[in-house]
Amino acid sequence: MTDASSENITSPYLSEEVTLKKRTPFHTQWAIFKVKAWRILGHHPLCSRYDNHTFKIGSFNFCIGCSMIYSALILYTILFFAVPNVFWYNHYVITILPFTGFGLAILHKLFRLKIKWLKAIFRFIAGFGIGAYCAIVIEVPLWWLRVVLVFLLLAGNNLYGLSRGRNANRRKCSDCPLAEADPPCNPDQNTNIRVRKLYKIIEEELEKTKQKNVEPIPEQ
């Protein structure tokens, strides 16, 4: 049972049922990918408490932070080669952008932004700043300075990860009332159970196929 405080929380992890349009290996594998996709693409549980961390395209949820950062990195890479006079050789641009991006990343961390579009802008600019930082690494003439810059980037990334904590993407689950529901909401456990059920369906269908292909022994 759920209490009053959990009535407004929606979660797909309260049921272990699996549904398939067709019981074929392909459709089952596709269903398995959809069940596990939140870990790969969304990085946060598909619960209403994490709505401000993801956006949805079709059947899939994507992490706002990672999607914006990677999109910005891809865009900067394109601009790096398409407009080198600005995004490669212009030392003012490739110096200012990293400070801007990293500064906004720090502000995002300090103020824990909740508004989706604002988070998306901050993350996109941070990704653009990382791209500009990589341009600096390429542009500097001294190899040892390149090593130092790469080390600083990796160290900063690790420090940021440590500051967020190991279970940052599940933090809201710790005080969620659905954790005490019957059945309890446990995203990782629920996902593993549904994936096992889908693999079981594949095994059953393969066994049926084997039985159909077994030739009957002719009577003597």
pLDDT for residue 48: 92
| Regions of the chain with pLDDT less than 70 | 1-7, 214-220
pLDDT value at residue 215: 56
The conformation of residue 49, written as its DSSP 8-state character, comes to G
What is the rounded CA–CA span in Å between residue 95 and residue 149? 13
Whole-number pLDDT of residue 4: 42
What are the distances in angstroms from CA 81 to CA 78, 84, 85? 6, 5, 9
Q: What is the pLDDT of residue 1?
A: 43
How confident is the model at residue 100, as a pLDDT? 93
Please state, in angstroms and as integers, the Cα–Cα distance from residue 95 to each residue in 83, 87, 140, 202, following that order.
Answer: 16, 10, 12, 54
pLDDT reported for residue 196: 94
Phi/psi of residue 61, nearest 5 degrees: -105, 140
User: Can you say how many angstroms the Cα of residue 68 is from the centroid of all Cα atoms in its chain?
Assistant: 11
